Chains A and B, each alone.
Chain A
Amino acid sequence: QKEVEQDPGPLSVPEGAIVSLNCTYSNSAFQYFMWYRQYSRKGPELLMYTYSSGNKEDGRFTAQVDKSSKYISLFIRDSQPSDSATYLCAMSAGAGGTSYGKLTFGQGTILTVHP
């Protein structure tokens, strides 16, 4: 069983829809939770980050973390065709030493928003 599980989709939605992307994880040491967006044939780029449990909002994007359930979500409101990409969740135990910067990624969910 992988440490981070993410449904690869693909997910296809009409423009303007609310999109919900999710990941579950098994490692209770994870403290930092990120969402990266990867356009086709490009490198991933950090979209949002949350430390520990809670919600974080940035424009049309909302990230939620529920550490008790080991479950994180990304919501995209009023989705646009430009949101079409692969969304990767990533997690880190943080701290220093050999854990520093070690991100464990989910498989990524392929999202297509059609006009």
Chain B
Amino acid sequence: DTAVSQTPKYLVTQMGNDKSIKCEQNLGHDTMYWYKQDSKKFLKIMFSYNNKELIINETVPNRFSPKSPDKAHLNLHINSLELGDSAVYFCASSLTGGRGYEQYFGPGTRLTVT
């Protein structure tokens, strides 16, 4: 039973390309997040959606565009990929009602830009 799943698990691409990462959760949560973890393991929030509405939008280049078609899905599209975009991207989900700290993370998508 996969709680939070991401596809693809690995993504190797060249600079300048456009790519998408998909996330799905079957926990019945209504809030979903994208995080970026750099090579030093530093995990930083990028976006969050609650019931398809954008809630958190950190200082992220506008080459990154999240989309939430419904409560269970959150995608991340990245345009014009740069070397510095290489990282592990994690999707997470949680419930509202005071449980936002209890986030369930997916397995991550390891993006390598060459």
Contacts and interface: CB of A to CB of B under 8 A. Distances in A.
Interface string A56-97: 000000000000000000000000000000101010101001
Q: Is the interface of B mostly helix, strand, loop or mixed?
A: strand
A44 B42 CA distance: 12
Given A100-B31, A100-B50, A100-B55, A92 B100 contact: yes
Chain B, interface size category, equals: 20 to 34
B4 interface: yes
Nearest to A51: B101
Contact of B101 (A97, A103, A108): A103
Contacts of B56: 98, 100-102
B103 A98 contact: no
Contacts of A90: 101
B18 interface: no
Interface in A1-38: 8, 32, 34, 38
Interface in B79-100: 90, 92, 94, 96, 98, 100
8 contacts: A42-B108, A44-B43, A92-B101, A100-B96, A100-B100, A105-B42, A107-B40, A107-B42
Interface of B: 4, 31, 33, 40-45, 48, 50, 55-56, 90, 92, 94, 96, 98, 100-108
